[in-house]
Structures are given as structure tokens and as C-alpha cells.
């Protein structure tokens, strides 16, 4: 079957052409050995063999800490007026694409978040196929989230089969046409096939708090919150306000928060609705496997494996999820 093909040796040329359109970021292995999404400047090729970056691409859509409102006594509260330059993310695996799809469903819902919406529309997504390792679970628990991208590169011998998933992708193909050729090749299935599956509308019984596993997890957990930081679909945020020294201005910021922190469920007067760690674990579990509010019934876990890799106690919710959600691998 005729497929568009780009040769491995044309990758640098491809990036050069993309850089003419926008800043390009992709997975880069730093001198510290950590793979992170960073700018692909001239001469730096993305590390497409890396299974996962430390932080997921959510950091481009929800900054770890960002100003959401500015206040002056003259103008009152105003949305920040920062311009969002276009950005191309290169080398996203299907799980990270599905993670962005989940964030889209939260932040671009009925009442879109202005900051997220501006950043999202400035973002072009270029996915790449991958091979799951022992930490990955996309292939074990199919997800209803969609791994959508503007362009997708499917690794084949000597290069990539390249396909477009949006009008923006078509435009990019136009820019790349002198280095892309049509070839008769067999394109293998990629891990996008584990995403976009219908979920059963089955109502599950409320979680059984007496299961010993909750306490076992809680006893081992250090409460460090690393699992949420590196999760592509964890998007809880705290809201803080800081008054200016002039007494007439202020900024309101939001910053990544964590449901395993004790303060997450505190209300006025210091009372907490999730007093112990086992309760907080169930909160996290409900979000990851059952979804909150408008996303009830949509599991948030995309199987990227980051939480398992970073957990200093080696905790893993998946075996419990497999049992409680009756997921058959």
C-alpha cells in the first residue's frame, strides 16, 4: 500500500523545516541522563528511543506555576494578556497524546479555561510510535481516550511512515513534501490502537474501603507526590494570591497540587474530608480509574508507566485496578 515515508536521515531536515514554522520541542536526554521535553535547537536530535520523559507534555499546557489573574485597583481583576507563540511538540508517544486528550476534555469542556485554550490552540502535536516496556500498561488496559495528533510517525525500516491527523498536519506535510516520498511499505500497527475504545457504561459499586490493599499501599507510600507530578492526566491545582508591595496590585497563581498531600482535602477550620493516607489513595484511585464529574466513567490512566518508575516505594495501583475494574488484559 502506498504510504508517505520519511527517511531517518531526513529527520534533521524535517526538524529544520518545522523550526521555520515554530519552536520545536521533543524528548532530549540531558547530561544528567534524564530524558525531558526540551527545545530541539539546530544540531540536537530528539531521543526517539527513550520510552518516556520524566515529566509529561502537560507542562506545556499547565505550567507548574502560572499567573491566572492580575489585579490592579484601577482595572480590577484581568486575565493575563500574554501572547502564546506557536509550539510544535515532536516525538509524543500515543499515551502522552491520550493524556493531552484527557486534559482537553477537562479544560476545553463547556466552559473552557482561557489560559489552557490559548496554549492548546498554539500547540501542534507530532506523535511517534513506540514499543511498551515493563512499566507501560497501555497494552494491558485499553483506554477510551483518543491518541490524536496532527502528524504521526510510525517507525519502519529506514525511517518513518508519516500520516496526518488534522488540517494542520496536512499543512505540515506540504512543507515537508520535498523530503517525504510515497512508498509501498507495510506499516505495522502502533500503540494508538490501544486508545479510543468504547467503555462499558456499567455502574461499578463504590470502592470497598475495607480491602487490605488500601492500607498496604498507604503504609508503604511516602506521600511525596511524585506520582502526580509525572502523571500526564493529573491536573489538580492549588490557587494562591499574592499582593504587591504597592498595596494596589496582586497576582493570582495556580500551581500543581497533589491529592496525596494532607492539605488537599482541608476545608475551613482545618477539618479534612480525607484524614488518612488510605482515603487519599482511594481518591487518587477514583480519579485515575473512574473519573470525576463530567468525566465519570472515563479512566484517566493512559498507561505511560511514569508513576511506577518514579515511585520511591515502588507502588503500583494497576493490579488492584485490574481486579476492581474487572479489566481483562
Partner 1 sequence: MNSHLPIPAVVAAIRPLAVDTSLLTLHTEPGHPVASSFLPGQFLQLSLPGVGEIPLSYCGVPSRDGSIELCIRHVGHVTTPLKSAAPGDAVGVRGPFGHGFPLSAYAGQDLLLIAGGLGIAPLRSLLLTLLKQRELWGRLTLLYGARETGALMFLDELLEFQRRGVIELQLTVDRPGYCINGPPECRVALLPALLEQLALEPGRTCAAICGPPVVYPLLVSRLRLLGVADDRIHLSLERRMKCGVGLCGHCAVGTRLCCVDGPVFSFAELAGIEGALV
**Which of 146, 274 has the CB closer to partner 1?**
274
Q: What DSSP character marks residue 251?
A: E
Distance CA 152, CA 188 (A): 13
Distance CA 216, CA 253 (A): 36
**Residue 301 Cβ vs partner 1, minimum distance, rounded to whole Å:** 15
- Relative to beta strand 23-29, strand 87-92 is parallel
- 294 lies in the site for partner 1, by CB under 8 A: yes
Strand order in the sheet with 159-164: 35-39, 23-29, 87-92, 123-128, 151-156, 159-164, 2-7, 180-184
Angle between helix axes 167-175 and 11-21 (nearest 10 degrees) is 120
**Residue 183 Cβ vs partner 1, minimum distance, rounded to whole Å:** 45
- Residue 56's φ and ψ, nearest 5 degrees, are -80, 170
Residues 84-123 that bind partner 1 (CB under 8 A): 106-107, 109, 111, 113-114
Taking alpha carbons only, the member of 144, 42, 44, 40 closest to residue 102 is: 144
**Which of 44, 117 has the CB closer to partner 1?**
117
- 277 lies in the site for partner 1, by CB under 8 A: no
Taking alpha carbons only, the member of 239, 238, 232 closest to residue 257 is: 238
Taking alpha carbons only, the member of 33, 79, 37, 28 closest to residue 61 is: 37
Distance CA 258, CA 261 (A): 6
- 236 lies in the site for partner 1, by CB under 8 A: yes
Helix (H) or strand (E) holding 220: helix 212-220
Residues 53-82 that bind partner 1 (CB under 8 A): 68-69, 71, 73, 76-79
| Binding residue (CB under 8 A) for partner 1 from 287, 288, 306, 318 | 287
**Residue 88 Cβ vs partner 1, minimum distance, rounded to whole Å:** 26
Among the residue ranges 32-40, 183-191, 248-256, 308-316, the one whose residues contact partner 1 (CB under 8 A): 248-256
| Binding residue (CB under 8 A) for partner 1 from 259, 260, 304, 307 | 259
Among the residue ranges 2-10, 53-61, 84-92, 271-279, the one whose residues contact partner 1 (CB under 8 A): 271-279
Q: Which three cell numbers stand for residue 246?
A: 504597592
| Binding residue (CB under 8 A) for partner 1 from 2, 198, 201, 268 | 268
| Binding residue (CB under 8 A) for partner 1 from 38, 50, 224, 250 | 250
| Binding residue (CB under 8 A) for partner 1 from 12, 238, 316, 325 | 238
In the complex, the residues that contact partner 1 under the rule CB under 8 A are 68-69, 71, 73, 76-79, 106-107, 109, 111, 113-114, 206-207, 209, 235-244, 247, 249-250, 252, 254, 257, 259, 264-269, 271, 273-274, 279, 282-283, 286-287, 290-294, 296
Amino acid at each position: 500500500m502506498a504510504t508517505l515515508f520519511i527517511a531517518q536521515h531526513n529527520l534533521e531536515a524535517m526538524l529544520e523545516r518545522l523550526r521555520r514554522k515554530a519552536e520545536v520541542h521533543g524528548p532530549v536526554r540531558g547530561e544528567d541522563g534524564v530524558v525531558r521535553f526540551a527545545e530541539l535547537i539546530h544540531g540536537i536530535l530528539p531521543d526517539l528511543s527513550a520510552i518516556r520523559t520524566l515529566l509529561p507534555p502537560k507542562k506545556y499546557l499547565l505550567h507548574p506555576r502560572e499567573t491566572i489573574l492580575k489585579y490592579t485597583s484601577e482595572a480590577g481583576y484581568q486575565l493575563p494578556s500574554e501572547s502564546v507563540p506557536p509550539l510544535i511538540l515532536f516525538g509524543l508517544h500515543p499515551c502522552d497524546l491520550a493524556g493531552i486528550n484527557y486534559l482537553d476534555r477537562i479544560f476545553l469542556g463547556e466552559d473552557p479555561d482561557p489560559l489552557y485554550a490559548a496554549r492548546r490552540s498554539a500547540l501542534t502535536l507530532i506523535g511517534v510510535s513506540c514499543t511498551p516496556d515493563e512499566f507501560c500498561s497501555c497494552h494491558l488496559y485499553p483506554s477510551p481516550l483518543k491518541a490524536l495528533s496532527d502528524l504521526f510517525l510510525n517507525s519502519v525500516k529506514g525511517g518513518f511512515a508519516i500520516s496526518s491527523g488534522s488540517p494542520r498536519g496536512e499543512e505540515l506535510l506540504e512543507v515537508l513534501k520535498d523530503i517525504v516520498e510515497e512508498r509501498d511499505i507495510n506499516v505495522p500497527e502502533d500503540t494508538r490502537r490501544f486508545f479510543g475504545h468504547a467503555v462499558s457504561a456499567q455502574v461499578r459499586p463504590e470502592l470497598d474501603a475495607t480491602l487490605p490493599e488500601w492500607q498496604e499501599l498507604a503504609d508503604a507510600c511516602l506521600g511525596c507526590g511524585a506520582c502526580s507530578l509525572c502523571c500526564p492526566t493529573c491536573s489538580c491545582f492549588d490557587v494562591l494570591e499574592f499582593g504587591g508591595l504597592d498595596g494596589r496590585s496582586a497576582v493570582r497563581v495556580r500551581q500543581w497540587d497533589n491529592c496525596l498531600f494532607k492539605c488537599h482535602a482541608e476545608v475551613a477550620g482545618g477539618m479534612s474530608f480525607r484524614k488518612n493516607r488510605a482515603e487519599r489513595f482511594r481518591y487518587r484511585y477514583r480519579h485515575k480509574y473512574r473519573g470525576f464529574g463530567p468525566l465519570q466513567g472515563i479512566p484517566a490512566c493512559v498507561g505511560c508507566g511514569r508513576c511506577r518508575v518514579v515511585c520511591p516505594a515502588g507502588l503500583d495501583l494497576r493490579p488492584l485496578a485490574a481486579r476492581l475494574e474487572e479489566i481483562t488484559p
